[in-house]
Structure 1
């Protein structure tokens, strides 16, 4: 297929690379044009100077940018993708954004005869690099069925969760669960250190039981070593948790642990950890010693 990819950050760049590697004709756009030029030099295809230029004539347009406002700019702006996409084309948005903006874009897409899927991802930079992301999707079944083969170029699992906005709501559940897990793992590692235990041995044995999780397997040892220079940044997590808490205020859900962990991440930011990995929550416990 002819596919445009808008946004070549740490997630978007490898996702687009997998599309090209699977034989799709890929056109890319990035706000910093030099990054798009470098991507084309490394992977082939071509780049557009604007989202509209990249999106023109494409079967599918995929996007992965920072937040709601970034998404509106590249899709609904004066030089946005919707000014150039053909009727019958599909927009698949992989940004972690609000359910509101997903529904807003879905409505605009419907007016133009364009299909839309909100499709936030989980798995982090490593998942994108290795093509094993999990994708949570919102939209209608027919549009999803057409888009799924492209999504599976960089995903090990993808599922339609319901109408537009359902992908974003599912991603919120994902982030709520992660926030509590990372805080609990931070406290467990901190406790093991304070008790004078061999932390790696502790993690090895308990990971085989009911306490085991992806976070424990992938971040427990690096937490213990004080390494936080990889993965999903604290700034991004706070953005995501803000979306979760805002949606909870609307739907009546009670999220006391999520709200508390969000405050803890605020402390990490103030201590210079804005770009540290989310496992850096443990630093605020060590600071309290």
Structure 2
């Protein structure tokens, strides 16, 4: 069992830290809103700290899961950042969906201090975090990954290293690019089914058993038909992720026409007031275009 710090207790980090404690690790948490860290400590029996540096002191592993590149830098760097408190030989594992650039930046800073680093964004959403069934995409040295994997296994169903620092973030971009196209396709299919007079839920249940099946279709079709989106991965965060993917694509000279188009469709959903709706809310845009009330 290891001494672990967990930085960031959002909808993903809160249950992930809980799984670490449940597996017997000694866990100290940090959150920008201290009240949430206090709540976690009271619920799970761990400890909380006032700063990332305090949380990281003496730990074998420091896990982070925050919002974006700037949030990540704020908890890692500076006199109160995690790197300032970590002991030599410890490993920093970042679960934030961020840029490959910031991953490489942190990896270099960690190496200068004799620390390991793994960029390890996750897929599986809030349900995956709560059930300990996340897919984790990793980048970093083999040594750092091998040390961190048994700890990450507390909340993972699959964990793979894809290369050096930044490779995990690049793989997560692939994940988000694929999801964008799939959700738009499902939205169009379900909207077509309803307009054609079919029972869209029944259609989805059958299509999910064939070549058109996907996790999104199996897990989101019913709520899409019902117009329920007050859960899951928010449109605001998906646009952040697609922005990172599109920026990276431009840097490496790759065209992502479908992802770029769907990103703009998500902008339309934001304009409808759906920034905090689940990503499956793309179907609402189609309903508005048809003149339906939502």
TM-score, normalization by structure 1:
1.00
What does the per-residue CA deviation read over 1:105-144, in whole Å, with 9 as the maximum and x for residues that have no partner? 0000000000000000000000000000000000011111
Is residue 171 from structure 1 mapped to residue 172 from structure 2 by the alignment? Answer: yes
Partner of residue 124, structure 2: 123
Q: Distance between the aligned counterparts of 2:219 and 2:137, measured in 1?
A: 22
Is residue 109 from structure 1 mapped to residue 121 from structure 2 by the alignment? Answer: no
SS at match of 2:86: coil
Partner of residue 187, structure 1: 188
Q: Distance between the aligned counterparts of 1:78 and 1:217, measured in 2?
A: 47
SS at match of 2:118: strand
Partner of residue 43, structure 1: 44
More displaced 10-residue stretch of structure 1: 77-86 or 105-114: 77-86
Q: Distance between the aligned counterparts of 1:78 and 1:125, measured in 2?
A: 32
Q: What's the C-alpha RMSD, in Å, of the aligned pairs?
A: 0.4
CA drift of 1:78 comes to 2.5
Partner of residue 283, structure 2: 282
Is residue 147 from structure 1 mapped to residue 148 from structure 2 by the alignment? Answer: yes
Q: Distance between the aligned counterparts of 1:143 and 1:156, measured in 2?
A: 19
Partner of residue 247, structure 1: 248
TM-score, normalization by structure 2:
0.98
Partner of residue 198, structure 1: 199
What does the per-residue CA deviation read over 1:5-39, in whole Å, with 9 as the maximum and x for residues that have no partner? 00000000000000000000000000000000000
Partner of residue 79, structure 1: 80
Q: Give the count of matched residue pairs.
A: 289
The gaps in structure 1 that reach 5 residues or longer are: none
The gaps in structure 2 that reach 5 residues or longer are: none
Partner of residue 8, structure 1: 9
Q: Distance between the aligned counterparts of 1:138 and 1:131, measured in 2?
A: 21
Q: Distance between the aligned counterparts of 1:181 and 1:77, measured in 2?
A: 40
